[in-house]
C-alpha cells in the first residue's frame, strides 16, 4: 500500500472519529440538558406543592354566626281580648301577630278596617276598632299603627283639649268630643279621667282605651 493511500485512509478514519464524537456529544449533551430540565421541573413541582400545602394548612377563620334578630315591643289596644298591654314579638312580625298575641280579636272587632299584613317595628301602638264605632282619627290608615314619640306618649288634657284634639283620640268622634267639652263646661272640668264614664256614650271598654292617652289637668286652669 502506498503512502498516499495510507494518508487517505487515515483522514477518513479521523473524519469518522470526529463525526462519531460529535454525534455522541450531541446525543448525551441533549440528554444532559433534558436531565437538568427534568430536575428543575421536579424541583418546581415540589416547591409549588409545598406552597399549596402551606396554604391548605393555613387556619381558615370560622364564619361568624349571623346575629339573631332582636325582638320588638308593641302596644296593642282596642277590640282584642287582652288590650292595653305591651307584647314582645320577633322582628318581622305583622299586625296579625300582634292581634294574636293579645288573645285574638273580639267578636265585634272591625278587622276589615286595618291592614293585618302591615309589618311592625319596635315601639308601635296598634289600635283595633269595633264595628259601628264612631268615625274619628282611627278611620285613617295611619291610626291603625301609631308610632309613639321616643320621648313618651303625649297625653291629651281633657280640660284643655280642643274638639279637634279630642277627635284624634281612638273611639272619639265629633259627637263624643262635643259631649266631653259640654261636660267639662257644665261641671267645671274633669278632676279625674274616670269621670269620662259620666259622659254619655263612653263606657268601660272605651275608657280602657283612653286611660293611657288622656289626663285631667287642674280644672279651670
Kindly list the domain boundaries of the chain, sorted by start residue.
67-152, 154-221
What sign has the CA pseudo-torsion 35, 41, 47, 49? negative
Q: Which residues contact 87 (CB under 8 A, 6 or more apart)?
A: 73, 74, 75, 76, 98, 101, 102
How is domain 67-152 classified at the CATH fold level?
A: Ubiquitin-like (UB roll) (3.10.20)
pLDDT tens digits, one per residue of 127-144: 898 887 764 444 333 334
pLDDT tens digits, one per residue of 1-45: 566 666 677 777 776 766 666 666 555 555 555 554 445 555 555
Predicted confidence (pLDDT) at residue 102 exceeds the cutoff of 90: yes
Higher local confidence (pLDDT), 163 or 15: 163
- Rounded Cα gap, residues 101 and 82, in angstroms: 9
Q: Percent of the chain scored above 90 by pLDDT?
A: 29
Among 68-72, 86-90, 94-98, 123-127, which stretch is predicted with the lowest mean pLDDT?
Answer: 68-72
- Rounded Cα gap, residues 130 and 165, in angstroms: 21
| Mean of per-residue pLDDT scores for the chain | 74
Predicted confidence (pLDDT) at residue 219 exceeds the cutoff of 90: no
Cβ atoms of residues 79 and 127 within 8 Å: no
pLDDT in the model for residue 82:
93
pLDDT in the model for residue 1:
59
**85-89/145-147 β-pairing:** unpaired
pLDDT in the model for residue 94:
92
Stretch 101-123: mean pLDDT, rounded? 89
pLDDT in the model for residue 55:
43
pLDDT in the model for residue 139:
39
pLDDT in the model for residue 117:
86
Predicted confidence (pLDDT) at residue 185 exceeds the cutoff of 60: yes
Cβ atoms of residues 215 and 157 within 8 Å: yes
For 198, the 3-state DSSP assignment is helix
In the chain, what are the helix, strand and coil shares in percent, each to the nearest 5?
45, 15, 40
The closest of 63, 69, 80 to 209, measured between CA atoms, is 80
Higher local confidence (pLDDT), 194 or 143: 194
pLDDT in the model for residue 120:
87
Cβ atoms of residues 116 and 99 within 8 Å: yes
Predicted confidence (pLDDT) at residue 101 exceeds the cutoff of 90: yes
The closest of 164, 157, 167, 152 to 190, measured between CA atoms, is 157
How is domain 154-221 classified at the CATH fold level?
A: DNA polymerase; domain 1 (1.10.150)
For 147, the 3-state DSSP assignment is strand
Take residue 200 and report the three cell numbers written for it.
Answer: 254619655
The closest of 129, 125, 173 to 147, measured between CA atoms, is 125
Take residue 168 and report the three cell numbers written for it.
Answer: 284624634
Amino acid at each position: 500500500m502506498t503512502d498516499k493511500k495510507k494518508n487517505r485512509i487515515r483522514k477518513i478514519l479521523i473524519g469518522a472519529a470526529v463525526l462519531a464524537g460529535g454525534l455522541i456529544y450531541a446525543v448525551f449533551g441533549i440528554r444532559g440538558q433534558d436531565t437538568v430540565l427534568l430536575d428543575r421541573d421536579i424541583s418546581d413541582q415540589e416547591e409549588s406543592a409545598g406552597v399549596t400545602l402551606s396554604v391548605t394548612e393555613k387556619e381558615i377563620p370560622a364564619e361568624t354566626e349571623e346575629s339573631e334578630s332582636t325582638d320588638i315591643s308593641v302596644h296593642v289596644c282596642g277590640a282584642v281580648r287582652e288590650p292595653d298591654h305591651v307584647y314582645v314579638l320577633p322582628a318581622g312580625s305583622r299586625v296579625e301577630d300582634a292581634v294574636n298575641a293579645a288573645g285574638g280579636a273580639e267578636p265585634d272587632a272591625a278587622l276589615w278596617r286595618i291592614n293585618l299584613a302591615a309589618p311592625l317595628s319596635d315601639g308601635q301602638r296598634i289600635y283595633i276598632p269595633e264595628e259601628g264605632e264612631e268615625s274619628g282619627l282611627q278611620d285613617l290608615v295611619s291610626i291603625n299603627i301609631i308610632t309613639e314619640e321616643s320621648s313618651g306618649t303625649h297625653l291629651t288634657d281633657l280640660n284643655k283639649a280642643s274638639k279637634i284634639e279630642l277627635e284624634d283620640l281612638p273611639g272619639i268622634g265629633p259627637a263624643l268630643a262635643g259631649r266631653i267639652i259640654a261636660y267639662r263646661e257644665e261641671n267645671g272640668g274633669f278632676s279625674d279621667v274616670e269621670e269620662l264614664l259620666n259622659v254619655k256614650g263612653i263606657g268601660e271598654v272605651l275608657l280602657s282605651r283612653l286611660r293611657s292617652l288622656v289626663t285631667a289637668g287642674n280644672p279651670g286652669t
